[in-house]
Amino acid sequence: MSVEQEKAYIKKEIETIAKIYGSLQRVVWKVYKEMGIPLPWEADSYADDLPYWVDVPAEKDEEKPEGMLMIPYSYDCNDYKFNVPTGFGSPTHFYDHVKNAFDTLYEERDEGSPKMMTIALHCRCIGKPGRFMALKRIVEYIASKENVWVATRMQIAEHFREKFPYEKGSLAPGVKRAAAPNMLMRGLLTRHHQCELQIPNMHCFIDGLDFAIHFLR
């Protein structure tokens, strides 16, 4: 398939989704840009547990490149693991795992390290009556804690863009791409006193729910 054919398919997909659902999904950045549609973030990365910027190769000759903000996805606290043999054996296992992950990050947050936790949910998985109570307990537990921001990925993207705007060649302002993103971002965000966690946002799957939690100091 040629580049032009692929772009034509993407444009048709965007127009069809907008016509049927009244809103646009996040597809390929280049076509979005050509159509004048903002693409504030992508979740195609599993390389970190905090947001970071990447350079876009196609922008290398542009005077004002915009970069791409990555808000990494995660399979750790993911209800899809109900459907795999080595995953969650029961709703109790799911609750215990997510709670333990939350408690660990909450404790590390108190020590000054920024946090973002993703809890991925899908209606076809957690939406079963026998599993839903575990999610209810998780939400109630998180709600009982102070300084935690439950946000969509869009809200996280807006916050990160405002506090840490894109600089070419950097993971975040003043943080070059040379070293490991995780260590660098921890140091950067600690200096800015931004300690955040994330739990799911609306995902691109029609039957998917993704939301994000941020720990704030």
DSSP 3-35: HHHHHHHHHHHHHHHHHHHSS-----HHHHHHT
Name the domain count of the chain.
2
17 and 34 in a single domain? The answer is yes
**60 and 11, same structural domain?**
no
What range defines the domain where residue 16 resides?
1-39
Same structural domain, 96 and 119 = yes
Please tell me whether residues 25 and 47 are part of one structural domain.
no
Q: Mean pLDDT in runs of 10 for the chain (217 residues)?
A: 88 83 62 78 84 85 88 90 88 95 88 84 90 94 90 88 89 68 44 37 31 49
Do β-strands 148-151 and 116-122 pair in parallel, antiparallel, or remain unpaired?
Answer: unpaired
What is d(CA 47, CA 25) in angstroms, rounded to the nearest whole number?
23
Residues 103 and 198 reside in one and the same domain: yes
What is the identity of the amino acid at 55?
D
| Pick from 73, 63, 22: nearest CA to 168 | 63
Tell me, yes or no, whether 180 and 118 share the same domain: yes
Kindly state the tokens that stand for 169: 């060649």
